[in-house]
Structure 1
Amino acid sequence: MYVEVGVGDGWIESLSRERDEVLARWVERVAGDLRGRLSLPELQRELGEIYTALTTALASGGTDLRAEQFGELRALLADLSGGRARQGFTPRETAGTVFALKEAAAAVLEKRSVGYRDYVRFSEFVDELGLFTFETYVRTRDQVIVEQSNQLLELSTPVIKLWEGVLAVPLVGTLDSARTQLVMESLLEALVSTGSRHAIIDITGVGAVDTQVAQHLLKTVMAAQLMGADCIISGIRPQIAQTVVSLGIEFGEIVTKATLAEALALALRRDGFRFVRRAAGAEIR
């Protein structure tokens, strides 16, 4: 609910005239709540800018936070809530920073004999500021979670060079559609940039293989083959082999190996390398 008020309203005039006292009380209260997690100069600057924007907008009349005159205040509150979300502050701590303005101003408004009705209007306005801050915090936090998830996803699907012309993608965990797409993009880009002829997809760290996982693997292999690469799937453990057979999953002509070492040896043999076991103690030149 928005209550339309004008310049003559007692609480607005009091906030403007008693700026220094209210701001000092506000900073002191928030600093106590945050227990030193933000420096005092930083809090003074941050809350000072918000307080100035708040009183300037209120002086124009009205308390509708959606109005154009509150644009700067909305931007400052969004910066505050976004910064708090990225710094790891809780929603309670973030919204509490705004709600603390009520207590900071209460003594000043009482001293200036601001009536009960005016204080209710002031309280409702601060509630709107707090809710706006909370909503912005939630949106920013969700965005941070998505960004962190994407970063973890990229870290969990590295493309590594095992040998000249041989790349490997060691997969760990669950293979879903989003991750499959990332694996394909990373692998194809690496094949092009390195000119590699062989790609090994190692599923040793994949907990289980079902029909959906198998389809994702086949898509990745087909994409690599379309780029002219020879693709091998390694890490086929006995349990996975039994599951694949029981589900009737067909890998077609795709070569599979039990270990990454066997897959690497096969890729090197296809490139013309020969492996010779030397007698123990024989000199290596």
Structure 2
Amino acid sequence: MTVVLRNNVKVIDSGHRTIMMAHGFGCDQNMWRFLTPFFSSDHRIVLFDYVGSGKSDPSSFTIERYRHLDGYAQDVIEVCEALDLRDLLFIGHSVSAMIGLIAAIRAPALFGQLVMVCPSPSFLNDPPDYMGGFEHEDLEELLALMDRNYIGWAHHLASAVIGTGNDETLMAELSGSFCSTDPLLAKTFARATFFADCRKFLPETAHPTLILQSENDSLAPLSVGSYMQATMPGSRLEVVPAHGHCLHMTHATEIAGLIRSFSGQHSGLRAL
């Protein structure tokens, strides 16, 4: 099976500059539909699903490869290589921000700039220098809930991810996306996501990076964004006055402008 089929790769080809958009845990490429219209007229947009998510090929999933974020980073690299991509603008949501960073460190020529939407290098608290927002037992309980009540877990997490004051249909959509994923595959990705510690990679960043953080995010407190900006050379932090962990879905207009402005500083693209 080709990589294009394995990862359900879709290309919107309307320009010379390429943007790759990488979805977060429990999601798929359809979650980018709110952001793609801002770039589709003058960019080549690459969308895909990680193995184990969306309409990817589930038979390609192995716990050995996908129990750590390295396996998902390899998906990104292999999609880039299959499409002969270079110098792309990579936009990663949540855990995909770290997946993209790992891929960019491994294969720097494939990437030009990184955009991180609601990222966290580690969800775990590590006082006194780092507060990721959760204690170890909190995350273990969240994963245990997947075994006890998968639908209840999906609803609980979707509500936290979308945040208060946002369209409830988005919460329902996200919950449905969680529920549609095979529980074994979902739990493997969940453990890889919530127990990863990518802080060691932040100083290795070699690409200009835009960090987009929500002002009120139950999964990534403001201290996380400040820590990342202080640790990543060449990074820029933009805090968006918003609730929730899905700015690309709830505040697409606002972040599209920020992405255009950031990208334009490095490639001559016009701002919105």
- Fold shared per TM-score above 0.5: no
TM-score where L is the length of structure 2: 0.32
The structure having more radius of gyration, on CA atoms, is 1
Question: Larger relative contact order (C-alpha < 8 A, sep ≥ 6)?
Answer: 2
